[in-house]
A and B are shown apart, each in its own frame.
Chain A
Amino acid sequence: MELAHLVRPVNGSIRARAFAVGKILAGFFAIGLALFGVRRALAPGTVTRHALVVHVDASSRDAEIARAIDDAILVDLATRAGWARSDAVVRERIRKSLEAVEDVSDAERTIERGLAMDLPRTDPVARARLVSVARASVAQRAPERAIDDVEIAAFIDAHREAFEVPGRVRFEQIFLSRSRRGDRLERDALELAARLRDAPDEIAASDATPLSFPGLVDEARLDALVGASFGAAVMRSPLGAWSAPIASPFGVHFVRVRELEARRTSTVDEARARAISVIREADRAAAFDREMVALRATYDVAIERRP
């Protein structure tokens, strides 16, 4: 690519502007043609029927044959939209396929040769690429519809596991530091456990920690800050009473749970954005299926089984 083509002229000459306008018009024309072609292919009312021969193995089962038909339709769609000629991956594949047998220095001539040899359909990599591009193009045609809270609530209800909110706990703690107490840690912990049993509200001074735990915190965050299994130990602790000593990499912790919020399912308000995103994805998948039904109706497909 030439630099001069990329950089904006400092004082855009009339010729440069005319060239640019020409390019734009040519671009619109090309886009229009491509869209027209795709739309015609997708619109059952303006049927232009296409004949398609699909080759499958003799042993292919129905699902495999159906998949082969859909792939062939998508390849045909992509080819008629011009992507076999313009897609970078397909072009490169054609070039690589031909470079061993002929001069490929003229890129456009090479592509034309590859197209004439039907390489985009017969080369498995190029074919897979065209299927992928066409599939994405068809899927993008899903119209976006309004999704109300009734639908969201039903969706959440049908997918409770995906919208589950873990339980949370609010607690206080007494922390005994291993780095400060060293070998005395175990003995100190046992003594403190005994004192807490006898006088649970007379809390002896504990060690410093830079952590002050969040108001309501779930198991995952506790694990992330204090170490795996600490969160589960806190969640299992009795409400309103001091726990048994809980070991962590930093020492020993006694916790007293003040509030426990049970595991539950998200409300509509909480899950609206995520639910809409998942529903829209499902819409796109359904739209793709619908578009494929319409597309199939425009093809006369002959199956040829290979021995």
Chain B
Amino acid sequence: MLRTTARSVALLLGSSLLCISLLGASLVACTDERINPAPIDDPRLEKLGRCKDFNPEKTPFFGDLHVHTSLSLDANLQGNRVTVADAYRFARGEEIGVQPHAPDGTAMRTAKLSRPLDFVAITDHAEYLGLVYGCRVPGSAEYDSPACAGYRDKPDGAFFSFNLPLAFNQDDAALPSPCLEEEGGCKASGGLAWKEVQDAAEAAYDRSADCRFTSFVGYEWSGSPGTLNLHRNVVFRNHVVPTHPTGYFDEGQEEGLWKRLDADCLDRPNGCDVLTIPHNSNLSSGLMFETVDKDGAPFDAAYAKKRASLEPLVEIFQHKGDSECLPGSTASDELCNFEKMPYATLASATLGGDPDPLVESDFVRHALGRGLELFSTLGANPFMYGIIASTDSHLGTPGAVEEDRFLGHGGAGLTVRDALPPGLPDRPWFNPGGLAVLWAEENSREALFEAMRRREAYGTSGPRIVLRVFGGFDLEEAACTSPTLVADGYAKGVPMGGTLAPHDGKPVRLVVSALRDVGTPEHPGGALQRVQIIKGHLEGGAARFDVFDVAGGPNDASVDPLTCEPVGEGADSLCGVWTDPAFDPASPAFYYVRVLENPSCRWQAYQCLAAQVDCAVPASITEGFEGCCTQPFEQQERAWSSPIWYVP
């Protein structure tokens, strides 16, 4: 078991001693002033209803809750020079330059979204904020240190040297030089970096009644003992945030992170609010959804409630693969086989090599099932996860999900710092990532954060599919033809992310409606193929899963292998009303929806066609294009809804 029993003594010793233990790549003076003393009547703390787009029946807002800029160690060392402000400009539709860069600083590539995003959280790694800032800014306390000289002179070596402590066991991970405590802990530089994050978010946020764009202050806690991924994105409700982010070197366990967020944010009467979103459970080799706490003790009800409260969402899909389900494991579900990484740890995902055996317990569907099992014994469900997707872009390009213009991941994988590598822009097992979609009354921090909290959210693998799900017992059979579908859904049921209590033994009924992504004239969206419901329930105390087609179904659609043009018919919209045929009113259950598009070309297919790679002609497979012949040519883009739970 990788979880260690030891923990930070500092947490037990009160705030003053706690400060002494702070080794964060961050930040400022250790006094009670660590906490922003913002008054609760701060006019910037919003109330719902300030926006002109207020819609009580809610609107789908598309965004990205996982983005790295040049403030992240791995991105920076791989050549990222995009600032937090640049990333927000990109999200709002402006063109920016991206790596590699010419010696005079000119970006060799540019990127621009075909459609702006509605919201973004920039989530740079908390661990080395001070180091990254200090090593780049002449005059900082760290700039002339030997370690910073190495950082600048030998970025490839620095990439591994500085990432190494992040792979240390939770109790042994500590900041290296030049951020040793006796060197100042990189605190001043970390404070400036954290301020840059906050200032850029504030400048990008549309506080007018137009509500055109929402930014969230955030960061990533990047614990990865043994390179097993436990990462969480930390997203704050508003501008009231702790005066430093908490990284792996500050708190080695996720429970420590949550306690720190309690102390620094949630327990403060200043309007601070926060949630955490785990990601890449697919690269945790079973660690992400373990059912023991940091001391190795089985979860209890208090733990389960705490986790469900602080972690209402999980990121199911991003650059580094899909975490929905393990093909061939839990149900007859051939469509589960989508963007599976061949690796189960961060190290192997970055370095490549022989594939790892994938671990069933790394996948969200399994966790949702384990949640039901734990609920039946604890009376609380620690894995009550709503669903989002995001990019995890390390190029500073939120929402750049188009398959036909993938620029690479930028943090792991191929280095694109000083020149473009020959062939594909990144390891072929990566992908352009997905989007988070939130159903909210308006495009404001208040409304979007509440949508996250109540799990009225879904994820897509990139397309802007509009997916709506309602669950209840008295929803109309004819809901799909009713012009009051939405109003009835809220009045008689719950939306995605909601919970149903028993209702006279009646079976759960779901109404699912999906519209295809219309795309743009230059990049039309794909047609829909089918809508599926995945049901999880308990049978003999153990989780079992079933997959149902509820609208659309298999078809003959495909892609033209010479042009990537779609071939065959699909649907512009699909709607289905489904009543659970094997409903057991005594058994807890969950239901989530998966919407599939017709097949389309995977990202590398476009680049392989352009390079005239023919896998039957070895001479055409030039350097860097080997991935053309190892990855599937086509794929099925999709959306995953948050579940609706039935809790007897």
* Residue ranges of A at the interface with B (Cβ–Cβ < 8 Å): 1, 3, 5-8, 12, 17, 20-21, 23-24, 26-28, 30-31, 34-35, 81, 83, 86-89, 91, 93, 125-126, 128-129, 131-132, 136-137, 165, 168, 174-175, 177-180, 205-217, 220-221, 223-228, 248-251, 261, 266-267, 269-271, 273-274, 276-277
Q: Are A1 and B481 in contact (CB under 8 A)?
A: no
| Cβ contact of B203, chosen from A27, A220, A274, cutoff 8 A | A274
Assuming the contacts A27-B144, A31-B144, A249-B516, asked whether A207 and B481 have C-beta atoms less than 8 A apart, the reply is: yes
The chain B residue with its CB closest to the CB of A131 is: B104
Closest to B148 in A: A27
A224 CB contact (under 8 Å) in B85, B464, B485? B464
Q: Which of A24, A132, A223 contacts B103 (CB 8 A)?
A: A132
B206 surroundings in chain A (CB, below 8 A): 270
The answer on a CB contact under 8 Å between A6 and B572 is no
Q: Are A211 and B52 in contact (CB under 8 A)?
A: no
A165 to B58, CA, bound (A): 23
Check A266/B208 contact, CB under 8 A, given A20-B183, A129-B104, A180-B481: yes
Partner of B518, one of A136, A228, A269: A228
Whole-angstrom distance between the Cβ of A12 and the nearest chain B Cβ: 7
Per-residue interface assignment for chain B, residues 188 to 208, with 1 indicating a CB less than 8 Å from any chain A CB and 0 otherwise: 000000000000001111111
* Interface 0/1 of B243-287, CB less than 8 Å to A: 000000000000000000000000000000000000000000000
Residue from A6, A23, A137 having most chain B Cβ neighbours under 10 A: A6
Known: A86-B152, A132-B105. A6 touches B513 (CB 8 A): no
Flag the segment in B171-179, B228-236, B378-386, B424-432 that touches A: B171-179
Interface residues on B, range: 35 or more
A5 to B180 CA separation, bound complex (whole angstroms): 11
Knowing A208-B481, A209-B513 touch, does A17 contact B572 (C-beta < 8 A)? no
On chain A, the residues within 8 Å of B115 by CB distance are 224
CA distance A83 to B183 in the complex (A): 23
Collect the chain B residues with CB atoms within 8 Å of residue A168's CB: 52-53
Q: What's the nearest-Cβ distance from chain B to residue A140, in Å?
A: 8
Q: A179 with B483: in contact, given A6-B161, A20-B177 (CB under 8 Å)?
A: no
CB–CB B518/A23 < 8 A:
no
Contacts of B53 in A (CB 8 A): 168, 214-217, 221
Q: A31-B139, A228-B521 are in contact. Are A210 and B182 (CB under 8 A)?
A: no
B158: min CB distance to chain A, Å: 7
| Chain B interface, >50% SS class | loop
Report how far A86 CA is from B178 CA in the complex, Å: 17
Q: Which of A8, A180, A248 contacts B180 (CB 8 A)?
A: A8
B177 and A250 within 8 A (CB)? no
* B55→A215 contact, CB < 8 A: yes
Please, how many angstroms separate the alpha-carbon atoms of A277 and B54 in the complex?
28
Pick 16 A–B contacts, CB within 8 A, sort by A. A1-B150, A6-B176, A8-B175, A12-B182, A21-B182, A91-B153, A132-B103, A180-B481, A209-B485, A212-B58, A214-B55, A214-B442, A215-B55, A215-B442, A223-B518, A250-B515
Q: Which residues of A contact B466 (CB under 8 A)?
A: 210-211, 225
Residue numbers in A under 8 Å from B202 (CB-CB): 273
Docked CA distance A273–B89 (Å): 13
Q: Which residue of chain B has its CB nearest to the CB of A7? A: B176
- Contact flags (1/0) for B129-172 with A, using CB distance below 8 Å? 00000000011011111110110111101100110110000000
Mask of B465-492 contacts with A, CB within 8 angstroms, 1/0: 0111000000000011111011000000
Is B65 at the interface (CB under 8 A from chain A)? no
- Determine whether B336 belongs to the interface, using a CB cutoff of 8 Å to chain A: no
From the candidates B104, B141, B158, B176, name the one contacting A27 in the complex (CB within 8 A).
B141
B164 engages A3 (CB within 8 Å): yes
Closest to B181 in A: A8
The docked-state distance in angstroms from the alpha carbon of A251 to that of B418 is: 49
